[in-house]
Amino acid sequence: MRLLIIEDERKTAALLRDTLTQHDCEVICVHDGSSGLKEALNPGWDALLVDIMLPKLDGLSLVRELRAKGHTTPVIMLSARGEVEQRIEGLDAGADDYLPKPFAISELLARLRSIVRRSTRQRSVVFSVADLSFDQTSREVRRGGRKLELSSRESLLLECLLRAEGRVVSRRDILASVWEYDFDPGTNLVDVYVRRLRDKVDRDHTPPLIQTLRGLGYALRTEP
Ligand code: CA
């Protein structure tokens, strides 16, 4: 995780930096609000830790300004005063979480992991293999630049194969992920849908991407 700490108490900032670095984080500290905002506007941060009481620009204004500029980087507000009003003010300003000082580093780490996970999920994920692309959020599928119309099941099936990143997915796993069946209904449901999907994704295109591995399942990849 790449973290930016904006905290004017240098001792606290240094302690946080050292501890978080030991937990495989890459940490930069700045000690006032206006240089904090400037740094926060650079791309590439996984999360920001922002103290509320800061010289030059307070933490709440910093977060407000960051959000006003359209930046969605997750923010945890830190404050010596753990009162409810401050917490609400922080969240209203656009912070994702609030941690009253003093806090246990394990709690900070848990909250960091949770907000970073949330923000990664919200970010649009686009899978692509050869000239096929699938946007997880808009559900748009393209092959060779042309948009493909898939039914919702077909699109779930495609997503299931793409998530496996070229590994073989068994019929059982496909049934579980696309139909939420935890049993094999003993029909050729999967084969029927794979055929339909193949018709849309692979027909008129090279190389064929959807592969059948007899007795094992299906894979989506360029190489056999
Ligand atoms: Ca402070």
SS (H, E, C) the chain: CEEEEECCCHHHHHHHHHHHHHCCCEEEEECCHHHHHHHHCCCCCCEEEEECCCCCCCHHHHHHHHHHCCCCCCEEEEECCCCHHHHHHHHHHCCCEEEECCCCHHHHHHHHHHHHHHHHHHCCCEEEECCEEEECCCCCEEECCEEECCCHHHHHHHHHHHHCCCCCECHHHHHHHHHCCCCCCCCCHHHHHHHHHHHHHCCCCCCCCEEEECCCEEEECCCC
Confidence at residue 100, expressed as pLDDT on a 0 to 100 scale = 86
pLDDT per residue over 123-163, tens digit each?
Answer: 667 888 999 999 887 788 999 989 999 998 999 999 999 98
CATH code for the structural domain at 126-220: 1.10.10.10
How confident is the prediction for the chain on average, in pLDDT?
89
Q: Which residue has the higher pLDDT, 140 or 49?
A: 49
Residues of CATH 1.10.10.10 domain(s) within the chain?
A: 126-220
Return the minimum-mean-pLDDT range out of 8-22, 54-68, 144-158, 180-194.
180-194
pLDDT for the residue numbered 122: 64
How many angstroms does the Cα of residue 202 sit away from the middle of ligand 1?
59
Tell me, in angstroms, the distance from the centre of ligand 1 to residue 73's CA.
21
Q: How many Å lie between the centroid of ligand 1 and the Cα of residue 47? A: 18
Ligand 1 mean position, distance from CA 110 (Å): 23
Taking only the tens place, the pLDDT of each residue in 8-28 is 999 999 999 999 999 989 999
- Kindly give the distance from the C-alpha atom of residue 6 to the centroid of ligand 1, in angstroms, as a whole number: 9
- How many whole angstroms from 71 Cα to the centroid of ligand 1? 23
Q: Check residue 223 and give its pLDDT.
A: 82
Tell me the CA–centroid distance for residue 220 and ligand 1, in Å. Answer: 52
CATH of 2-122, one of 3.40.50.300, 3.30.450.40, 3.40.50.2300, 3.50.30.60: 3.40.50.2300
Contact 134, 140 (CB under 8 A): yes
7 Cα to the center of ligand 1, angstroms: 6
How far, in Å, from the CA of 31 to the mean position of ligand 1?
A: 9
pLDDT number for residue 82: 61
CA 132 to centroid of ligand 1, rounded, Å: 50
pLDDT given at position 124: 60
pLDDT for res 127: 86
For residue 104, report the distance from its CA to the centre of ligand 1, in Å: 18
> Which residues make up the CATH 3.40.50.2300 domain(s) of the chain?
2-122
Per-residue confidence (pLDDT) for residue 71, from 0 to 100:
84
Q: Which of 28-42, 108-122, 198-212 has the lowest mean pLDDT?
A: 108-122
The predicted structure's pLDDT at residue 145: 86
Centre of ligand 1 to C-alpha 53, Å, is 4
Instruction: Report d(CA 212, CA 189) in Å as an integer.
Output: 15
The token pair at 214 is 């007899």
Q: Check pLDDT > 70 for residue 44.
A: yes
Model pLDDT for residues 72-121, shown as the tens digit of each residue: 899 999 987 666 677 778 788 888 888 888 888 889 999 998 888 887 76
Higher pLDDT, 63 or 82: 63
Distance 9 CA to ligand 1 centre (A): 6
Ligand 1 centroid – CA 36 distance (Å): 13
pLDDT of residue 18: 95
